Structure 1
Amino acid sequence: MPALQETRTVVALAPAKPAGLADLGLPLVDSTAVKKGRVHEYLQLLTDGKIGRRFQDIRIIALKTVEAGVPSAKVFVQFEVFGDNTAAPTNGVGFEAVLFAGEQQLASLSSSSLFLPYANFWYPNRFVFEVSIADFDQADRLDFIAKAEEVRTL
């Protein structure tokens, strides 16, 4: 059975303005802080070297705010994914996102599946993870790791 290789891309995080985040419902207060990063295109290859899956517009938005008097930090991972002539298994393996401060790993965040019901079509995906305030403050990059998994080819 064909299989996708585990592949990784690095998304640099930089302080940003809280503009364009209305669809996330971000509570804006004086202490709200935002970090953003983006990768435009990212390919996941099959073990034979052919393209098996495409990721587009990977956007990482890290937010620190206060809601109802409680401080919190969240990381949103958003992207579109395309099964390039490959059908995902019913129980896919998803992806892992690892926050770093320089070379120091801060947190590992993972999803067990992608929203990719059919091959040859682009699907938007959005995930949110709670992180510690300290991890938010230190984070300067996120490694997005598309995990290896068996797929069916069309």
Structure 2
Amino acid sequence: MPSLQEARANVTLAPAKPTGLADLGAPLDDAAAVKKGRAHEFPQLLTDGAIGRRFQDLRVIGIKTLEADVTTAKVFVQFEVFGDNTAAPTNGVGFEAALFAGSEQLASLSSSSLFLPYANFWYPNRFVFEIPAADFDRADRLEFIAKPEDVRTL
């Protein structure tokens, strides 16, 4: 059975204006802080070197805000994924992500599956992770890790 290799993409996070976030529903008051970063496109290769899956428009948005008198910090990981002539198994392996401040890893984030029901089509994916506010303050990079996975080729 063909297998996808691990693929990684680094997304630099920088302070940003709280614009374009209406669809996230975050309470954005004057004390809210936002960090954003983006990677445009990267492939996940099969073990034979052919492209087996594509990721595009990987956006990472961190929001620290006050909700119900409690400061919360959340990281949104959004992207589109395309099964490039490969069908994902019913119970896929998903992805992992690591939040960094310089070379120090602050948090490990993971999802056990991707929304990729059929091959040869782009599907939007969105995930949210709560992190400590202190980690939000220090974070400057997120490493996205597309995990190895057995697939079926078309």
Q: TM-score, normalised by structure 2?
A: 0.99
> C-alpha deviations, 1:62-119, integer Å up to 9, x for none?
0000011111000000000000000000000000010000000000000000000000
* Shift, 1:26, TM fit: 1.1
Q: 2:61 aligned with 1:56, yes or no?
A: no
1:30: how far off? 1.8
In structure 2, what is the equivalent of residue 135 of structure 1? 135
Residues 1:123 and 2:126 are matched in the alignment: no
**C-alpha separation in 2, matches of 1:98 and 1:2:** 27
Q: In structure 2, what is the equivalent of residue 67 of structure 1?
A: 67
Find the counterpart in structure 1 of residue 9 from structure 2: 9
CA shift for structure 1 position 29: 1.5
SS at match of 2:137: helix
State the distance in 2 between where 1:36 and 1:8 align.
Answer: 18
* Other-structure match for 1:91: 91
Which amino acid letter does the alignment assign opposite residue 120 of structure 1?
Answer: N
Q: Hey, what's the Cα distance between the residues in 2 that align with 1:132 and 1:118?
A: 36
Name the structure 2 match of 1:147: 147
Q: Show structure 1 runs of 5+ residues with no match.
A: none
Match of 1:11, as an amino acid?
Answer: V
Give the letter aligned to residue 73 of structure 1.
A
What's the C-alpha RMSD, in Å, of the aligned pairs?
0.4
Other structure's SS at 1:118 match: coil
The residue identity in structure 2 corresponding to 1:110 is S
Q: Which residue of 2 aligns with 1:41?
A: 41
Q: State the secondary structure of the residue aligned to 1:18.
A: coil
CA distance in 2, matches of 1:21, 1:53: 28
* Amino acid of the structure 1 residue aligned with 2:44: Q
Q: Which amino acid aligns with 2:73?
A: A
Q: Distance in 1 between matches of 2:46 and 2:134?
A: 37
Moved over 3 A (4+): none
Q: Tell me the SS of whatever aligns to 1:8.
A: strand
The farther-off stretch of 22-31 and 103-112 is: 22-31
Unaligned runs of 5+ in 2: none
Shift of 1:28: 1.2
**Percent sequence identity over matched residues?**
79
Matched, 1:105 2:105: yes
How big is the shift at 1:10? Answer: 0.4
